[in-house]
């Protein structure tokens, strides 16, 4: 199901001054496979132009049995705290925030980025610092546990074959959870 959202629906993930008004965003309800193999229903808020893309990507992830721990919109966390969402291994999309330390809007602020299982697929900067804070075991990318993303995986290809950029292909930082379609 795809539905419009309002500023009230978005809670603290949106505020005046964000680069995109709520009218340009849509909430997409999606089936996903939990780590227990059971079908779950989650929500992502994305740019209105990406709804068909997002439905197709997550249908493919479901088809291949790629597990997702949870999929909730970020306003479910106090003050839309991205770190709390990531620590919870929450797959999410829209959050009106900048790229830390840059003052530039993240593609999440435009509803054009999705983070998948972020605890298992951390952000790692050139110094080796990582986010979320509880992701230390998964900084080791030789691990191959369900829900992790690696180059060439069917889950990564579900995005990149459709033109999305994967943060795991960047030189620095490496953002294994992050997919964007500018």
Q: Average pLDDT of 91-111?
A: 89
Other C-beta atoms closer than 10 Å to the C-beta of 21 total 10
What confidence score (pLDDT) does residue 47 get? 98
The domain tally of the chain equals 1
CA distance 26 to 173: 29
What confidence score (pLDDT) does residue 152 get? 95
**140: domain range?**
2-180
What confidence score (pLDDT) does residue 80 get? 86
What confidence score (pLDDT) does residue 172 get? 87
Other C-beta atoms closer than 10 Å to the C-beta of 96 total 24
Digit-coded pLDDT (tens) for 120-179: 999 999 999 999 999 999 999 999 999 999 999 999 999 999 999 999 999 889 999 999
What is the pTM (predicted TM-score) of this model?
A: 0.95
What confidence score (pLDDT) does residue 49 get? 97
For the purposes of burial, counting CB atoms within 10 Å of the CB of 152, is it exposed (0-12), middle (13-18) or buried (19 or more)? exposed
Could you tell me if 44 and 71 are in contact, meaning their C-beta atoms sit under 8 angstroms apart? yes
In the numeric block, which tokens belong to residue 27? 């909430």
CA distance 105 to 46: 15
Pairing of strands 113-115, 130-131: unpaired
What kind and span of H or E run contains 33?
A: strand 25-33
User: Residue 133's Cα: distance from chain center in Å?
Assistant: 17
CA distance 132 to 85: 9
Q: Average pLDDT of 99-109?
A: 85
What confidence score (pLDDT) does residue 103 get? 82
Phi, psi (degrees; rounded to nearest 5) at 46: -135, 170
What confidence score (pLDDT) does residue 153 get? 96
The SS3 of residue 121 is coil
Digit-coded pLDDT (tens) for 33-81: 999 999 999 999 999 999 999 999 999 999 999 999 999 999 999 988 8
Whether residue 14 is predicted with pLDDT greater than 80 in this model: the reply is: yes
């Amino acid at each position: 199901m795809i539905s419009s959202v309002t500023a009230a629906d978005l809670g603290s993930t949106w505020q005046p001054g964000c680069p995109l008004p709520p009218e340009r965003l849509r909430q997409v309800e999606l089936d996903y496979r939990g780590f227990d193999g059971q079908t779950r229903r989650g929500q992502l808020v994305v740019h209105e132009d990406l709804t068909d893309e997002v439905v197709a990507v997550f249908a493919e992830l479901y088809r291949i049995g790629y597990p997702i721990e949870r999929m909730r919109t970020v306003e479910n966390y106090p003050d839309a705290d991205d770190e709390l969402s990531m620590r919870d291994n929450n797959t999410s999309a829209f959050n009106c925030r900048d790229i830390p330390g840059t003052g530039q809007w993240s593609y999440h602020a435009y509803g054009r980025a999705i983070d998948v299982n972020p605890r298992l697929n951390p952000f790692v900067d050139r110094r080796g610092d990582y986010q979320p804070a509880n992701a230390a075991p998964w900084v080791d990318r030789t691990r191959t546990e369900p829900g992790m993303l690696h180059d060439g995986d069917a889950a990564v290809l579900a995005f990149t074959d459709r033109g999305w950029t994967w943060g795991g292909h960047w030189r620095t930082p490496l953002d294994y959870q992050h997919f964007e379609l500018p």
